[in-house]
Chain A
Amino acid sequence: MTAELDHKPLLTHEVGSLDKPGWRVKAYAGKPLDDKDLEEARSWGERLTVPDYEKLLDLLRHAPFSKEQKTEIQRWSSLYALRLEESAGLDVVYDGEQQRTEMYDWAVNHTNGFERRGSVRAFDNKYYSKAAVIGPISLREPFHNAEFSYLVSVADAELKVPVTGAYTIADWSFDERYDVDTDLREPAVDRRRARHAARRDFVLEVSRNLIRPNLQALIGVGARWIQVDEPGASTEADELDLFVDSFNASVEGLDATFSTHLCFSDYNLFFPAIERMSQCRQYAVGFANYDSRELGTSDEKRPGYQVIKKFRDLSFKPALGLGVLDIHSDFIESPELVRDRVLYAVKVFGDPKRIHVTPDCGLRTRSWTVAYEKLKNMTAGVELARKELGV
């Protein structure tokens, strides 16, 4: 059974990714490092008081790197990211997914049944890699255990593990297995029906044969809070029930706290489907991207947060991970702006323990300098809100 979240009011946490430092990217790719990379490692090591960071500098000066050394460099990158989040004052942290290639690619690369096809544009000049499902899906090996076990050994703050969800993995993949009929002379209605049935089979097979066994493995090494990332959840407006079924099939009966992350969607679409998602104890949702930058706690000043009333009214009383940082902009939200977004949410929910405070999404598209400033202001804004609420 999914465990309840019992945290202090206005708990703060990250959502997932951070950018990877140049030294980590180049070292892993076998590219030469320059003085700028070493300075980046030195200055952030010093700034974040990363213990023994001089050892990393020494390691980086001795390219080329063996496979073991590359693994060590990835772990340094994890440690830096962890310290960045802890130093910014977050209550719950992870490592910005420093040891993963990317949230989708990492998952399918540890899975049987998929084959890479290439990259496509997501937005602006950002691309993501896509694979096609070509055969039976199964977990090749648990793919978060090693990073989690390492982070447990070095984290001071509580950990929450982000895991890409089944619906998103299926949605971001090409289907070359379940729906292969392309005869356009067949009636369109028959082709559509076959496509929907194939889609359901695909998504639920990912839930049962990939996500669930990977979650079980993570719980086996001690993970207590797992965030199922579903940025693709609302892609198909008529598949919200399938998204909910996939979440339930992934977590049902497992002993951990499960939450989910949703972003860049019309969140109204999720209702009423997510009323059947009672095992989800927290929804971390991006709102700041849709909000104004004006101060204030009225409905008019907080247009991006109007939908939160629907999350409040869910009968199983989940917490809301309130996105307060726009992750697609270098604009640094002031503590006062964060405070007002939080106070507005508390006013709507009436219970500050049901409000957690987060960025809209992973911060991987921002530089570490920007991400750090944003996160520091987020925690400062939460402190202002706590003070105002007396909690």
Chain B
Amino acid sequence: MAATRGIDRGRVGADAVDQAFSDDQAAFVGVQKKAGMDFFSDGLLKWQDIFRPLMGALGIKPHTLIRWFDTNTFFREPELMGKVPTVKNPEGVVAAASVPRPRVTTLPSPYMFSRAAHADQDRNRLMVELAQRVLRPAIDAAVAGGAELIHLEDPWLGYFGIKQEDWAPLAEALQTLHHNLKATLAFHVYFGDAGPHIAQLLRLPVDAIGVDLIETDVAELGSGWEKGLVAGIINGRSSILESLDNTVEVARHLADTVRPRNLYLTSNCELGYLPTVVAEQKVLRLGEAAHKAKELVSV
């Protein structure tokens, strides 16, 4: 933080910023190792918002600042006028070599990307184009760089919902991403209640569906899932540390009632809304809960 502020004001050089990022990433990787995470993230520490590395790869400059849903965080609106060009070098989404494997790579879902952009074309056509020309090349680069789990985040669907006629183009866009993919593809709805959408979500061509359990009733998830469940059980917007016992109980409840093909425990949203020290405590608590839940399930 101090380094980026310093470079903005011409008080430090790029080397100092690189070193600071490297140190922060090493610290975050250390926390994930200590927590016993099954997938490792680079924490997207260099990403100024979820679209920025992709816009950089497209050679498009950041545009107007827009509030990120109901948070005090802002993103630069992706300016996508006319035909979307194909991304050539999406290295910005590939984690540094120092991040252990297996890795998880987080990207914007095509639905959210197409709705958040400043664009002049039909949103569903844009969604499919973004999947083909931007997200698939980025995913391929991430997989080549060691990603085994691709996590598409979609707060748009959670917060604003989706029209009935948008489901088919969304499925088409996701199929573009899922086809012959040598990684697990997860579509994570957050910042809203996924309950009303569960039936449609389970029909999407992805391997796992993510839900925000701070906003979604566990009872609405149904049972006997043919897909994995990415369960957002740690609140990424609250500084209160979750109780270990309660988190384990919820995880067990999900395993017993929803019975997904795979159960992934995670935060309900990204942890960027929390100060680093609080986020680290939450990662450790998540790891602790997952460890205990696995023990109980295997008994």
Contacts and interface: CB of A to CB of B under 8 A. Distances in A.
Interface of A: 19, 22, 117-128, 130, 132, 171-172, 174-176, 180, 182-185, 187-189, 191-192, 232, 234-237, 264-265, 289-290, 328, 367
A122 B272 CA distance: 10
B82 interface: no
B278 A122 contact: no
A185 B252 CA distance: 11
16 contacts: A118-B276, A121-B48, A121-B73, A121-B272, A123-B49, A123-B73, A125-B4, A130-B239, A174-B239, A182-B242, A188-B220, A189-B217, A236-B70, A237-B70, A264-B65, A289-B65
Given A122-B73, A188-B193, A182 B238 contact: yes
B203 interface: no
Nearest to B247: A184
Interface stretch (B128-136, B140-148, B208-216): B208-216
Contact of A185 (B7, B75, B250): B250
Contacts of B217: 187-189
A188 B65 contact: no
A132 B277 CA distance: 14
Interface range, B side: 35 or more
Contact of B1 (A119, A175, A187, A237): A119
A188 B215 contact: yes
A180 B11 CA distance: 42
B49 A120 contact: no
Nearest to A180: B240
A118 B193 contact: no
Contacts of A175: 238
* Residue with the highest number of chain A CB atoms closer than 10 Å, among B72, B74, B242: B72
Contacts of B48: 121, 123-125
B233 interface: yes
A172 B239 contact: no
Contact of B8 (A119, A121, A125, A171): A125
B74 A117 contact: no
Contacts of B235: 182
B273 interface: yes
A182 B272 contact: no
A182 B195 contact: no
Contacts of B242: 182
B246 to A, nearest CB: 6
A122 B72 contact: yes
A226 to B, nearest CB: 23
Nearest to A236: B70
B202 interface: no
A264 B64 CA distance: 10
B71 interface: yes
Nearest to A188: B217
A381 B14 CA distance: 38
A172 B1 CA distance: 19
A122 B240 contact: no
A125 to B, nearest CB: 4
Interface in B190-245: 193, 195, 213-220, 233, 235, 238-240, 242-243
B253 interface: yes
A27 to B, nearest CB: 15
Nearest to B74: A123
Contact of A117 (B75, B249, B278): B278
Interface string B282-297: 0000000000000000
A170 to B, nearest CB: 11
Contacts of B66: 264
A172 B275 CA distance: 12
Interface string B242-277: 110010011001000000000000000000111111
